[in-house]
Each structure stands twice: as C-alpha cells, then as structure tokens.
Amino acid sequence: MDTPLIPILVAPQAILKARALPVTDKHADQLRDLIPRMFAAMYHAPGIGLAAPQVGVGLRMFVVDLMPDDKPDPMVFINPEIVLQSTELATREEGCLSLPGQYADVTRPARVKLRYLDAQGAKKEIEAEDLLSACLQHEHDHLNGVLFVDHISALKRNMIWRKLAKAQREKQGAG
C-alpha cells in the first residue's frame, strides 16, 4: 500500500516562522522515514525544494531536485550552513509551496557555498549559482523561519498575504 502524502503546511503556521533545531543522531530513524516522504510531496506539488518545517518537522533539513534535463537529481541537505556568498546579487521570481500560487521577484546573493551532511551523514560542500543558488538560499531560509516574502517590500508582502488569505477562504468555502 502506498504511504499517504505528507501534507505541506500553508502559511501562516507558527512552525514556518520558527528556527528549526539541528539534526542529531537521535533523529536518524525519523529522517529515514521523512526524506522519501518529503520528496514524494515535493514532486507531487510540484516543486523543486521542500524544507522539513514545511511538513511540520522543526529540523534543519531540506530536499531539492531541479530535475536537470528532466531527469531526477534528488539532493538532501542536513544541517546546512551557508559558508560563503557572493557580493554580486541576482534577482529571480520565487514561489513557495507554503504560499501556493504566490510569486515575487527576490534579490539574493548570486552564488553561495553550502556545507552540509547528505542522507548518509557524509560531510559535503556544494557551490551553486543561478536557480540552484536561489533554491538553496530559499530552503535554508525556511530553517530560520524566513519566507521569501520576508525579502520583498512591505507593500508587495501585504498584497501576497491578502491574496493568499482570500484563496484560502475561497478554498474552504468550496470544500
């Protein structure tokens, strides 16, 4: 029997604004179960990144798959830390599975270097630019209780919150 999809939380939820806790050895069994379920939810949504807080788990972990050349390339980032970021900035449109249907231009460092543990617990580093850089920074933000709308002007942020609330009311009315 298929495991039911783990639900992706929609803002505002308190865990989405909270700082996630570091993953420790005691979380090994939980992660073994959680990682495939997070990928399944992310692919189903569909999305290219999903952080543990977005599925109600307050741990410093996220998954990413940009599907280069339409082929799966799943990556797991446990206890990631940004160790380097460029002074050069890049702006691109971002959305978030926890703010469905909402998008805005976000300016971030153009390149980043992340240090993290992979799903097997091996220490890794990755340097990223373009979409991968934005995605890694976006997901890393989730671990610190930061949403992409926290990077835009108050006016634009308030417009997105109003649109999201309206969409949620309409969805509840239809359900």
Asked whether residue 49 is domain-assigned, the answer is: yes
Quick check: 91 pLDDT over 60?
Answer: yes
pLDDT at position 171 is: 79
Residue 107 domain-assigned (yes or no): yes
Whole-angstrom CA distances from 1 to 4, 55, 131 are 9, 21, 35
In a domain, 8, yes or no: no
Q: Which of 81, 125, 139, 170 is catalytic?
A: 139
pLDDT of 3 over the 90 cut: no
Q: With respect to residue 139, please indicate whether it lies within any of the assigned structural domains.
A: yes
Give the separation between CA 122 and CA 59, rounded to whole angstroms. Answer: 18
In the predicted model, is pLDDT for residue 175 greater than 90? no
Containing 119, the helix (H) or strand (E) segment is none
Q: What percent of the chain is predicted at pLDDT more than 90? A: 87
Residue 81 falls in the annotated catalytic set: no
Whether 19 shows a pLDDT value over 80: the answer reads: yes
- For residue 7, tell me if it sits in a domain: no
Q: What is the DSSP letter of 31?
A: H
Mean pLDDT of the region 120-126 = 96
Helix, strand and coil in the chain, % to nearest 5: 40, 30, 30
pLDDT of residue 168: 84
Number of domains in the chain: 1
User: CB atoms < 10 A from the CB of 132, how many?
Assistant: 20
Per the domain annotation, does 94 fall within a domain?
yes
- CATH number, domain at 141? 3.90.45.10
- What pLDDT score does 1 carry? 45
Structure confidence at residue 152 (pLDDT): 96
- The answer to whether position 106 is within a domain reads yes
Q: Read off the pLDDT of each residue in 14-22 and give the average, rounded to a whole number.
A: 97
Residue 142 sits in which domain range? 14-174
Mean pLDDT lowest for which of 3-12, 18-27, 32-41, 147-156?
3-12
The pTM score is 0.94
What is the residue-averaged pLDDT of the chain?
A: 94
Residue-wise pLDDT for 57-70, tens only, equals 999 999 999 998 88
Q: Is residue 103 part of a domain?
A: yes
